[in-house]
């Protein structure tokens, strides 16, 4: 019985989180009250406080569930035993772009992350959290390119920071435009084109380089 109760509690927690995400997307992060989430989820405010201290924790827990696994996959590209970091990176980016389109919860999370309500939030904790993780993604992307240099896939003199910035901005920009202008930008259709263009922009190491 105790195990069943624990499983039910976890299911309630997950239900509250996903309801909160829908409310954040609909109302905006700043405008959404815990009472709005409780009503939409069909639970009491007390049930929400049992699982989450405040709205900010709800936001960060959503990040941990939906985005942290993506960061772990990106870091796997720089494992010492990984001999094809660029191939692994391409597979990772292809999966991310595909899943944003096909998985409604991930789609909503990215819509929220790129919304002006979050990007221009007056909440300093939220802004610091977003800045930290954006910097983390850039750092991981640069590390993959540095590993690719060590593996001989890229020239030794390549400016990894500059190319990581280029890739980061291109991916974010395409996602933002797709979210805002879906009638003009089709991520599902253009995914292969985006990746082909990104990786074609990377210089090839000199012939005979090992």
CATH code linked to domain 54-201: 1.10.357.10
Has residue 192 got a pLDDT over 50?
yes
pTM as predicted: 0.87
User: Does the CA dihedral 84-138-130-173 come out positive or negative?
Assistant: negative
Question: Which structure tokens are listed for 95?
Answer: 């999966």
C-alpha dihedral sign at 146, 147, 151, 154:
negative
pLDDT for residue 2 is more than 80: no
How many CB atoms are located within 10 Å of the residue 84 CB?
Answer: 13
Average predicted confidence (pLDDT) for the chain = 91
d(CA 40, CA 33): 11
- Write out pLDDT tens, residues 131-158: 999 999 999 999 999 999 999 999 999 9
Task: Give the pLDDT score at 4.
Answer: 53
- The CATH H-level (homologous superfamily) assignment of domain 1-52 is Homeodomain-like (1.10.10.60)
Q: Please state, in angstroms and rounded to a whole number, the distance separating the CA atoms of residues 200 and 194.
A: 10
Per-residue pLDDT of 37-71, as tens digits, reads: 999 999 999 999 999 999 899 999 999 999 999 98
Q: 84 Cβ partners below 8 Å, 6+ apart?
A: 151, 153
pLDDT score for 116: 84
**What are the structural domain ranges in the chain?**
1-52, 54-201
For the cut 90, the answer to whether the pLDDT of residue 102 exceeds it is yes
Which of 85, 87, 201, 82 has the alpha carbon at shortest distance from 146?
A: 85
* Range 112-132 average pLDDT: 86
**How long a stretch of residues is the chain?**
210
Summarised one tens digit per residue, pLDDT across range 7-16 is 888 899 999 9
């Amino acid at each position: 019985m105790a195990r069943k109760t624990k499983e039910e509690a976890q299911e309630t927690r997950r239900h509250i989180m996903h309801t909160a995400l829908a409310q954040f997307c609909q109302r905006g992060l700043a405008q959404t009250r815990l009472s709005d989430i409780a009503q939409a989820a069909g639970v009491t405010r007390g049930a929400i406080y049992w699982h989450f201290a405040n709205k900010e924790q709800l936001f960060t827990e959503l990040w941990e569930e939906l985005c942290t696994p993506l960061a772990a996959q990106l870091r796997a590209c720089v494992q010492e035993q990984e001999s094809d970091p660029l191939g692994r990176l391409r597979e990772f980016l292809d999966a991310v772009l595909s899943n944003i389109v096909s998985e409604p919860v991930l789609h909503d999370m990215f819509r929220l992350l790129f919304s002006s309500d979050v990007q221009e939030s007056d909440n300093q904790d939220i802004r610091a959290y977003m800045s930290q993780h954006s910097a983390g993604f850039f750092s991981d992307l640069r590390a993959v390119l540095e590993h690719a240099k060590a593996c001989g896939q890229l020239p030794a003199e390549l400016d990894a920071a500059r190319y990581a910035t280029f890739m980061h901005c291109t991916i974010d920009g395409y996602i933002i435009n797709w979210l805002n202008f879906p009638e003009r930008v089709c991520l599902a259709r253009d995914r292969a084109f985006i990746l082909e263009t990104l990786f074609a922009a990377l210089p090839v190491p000199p012939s005979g380089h090992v």
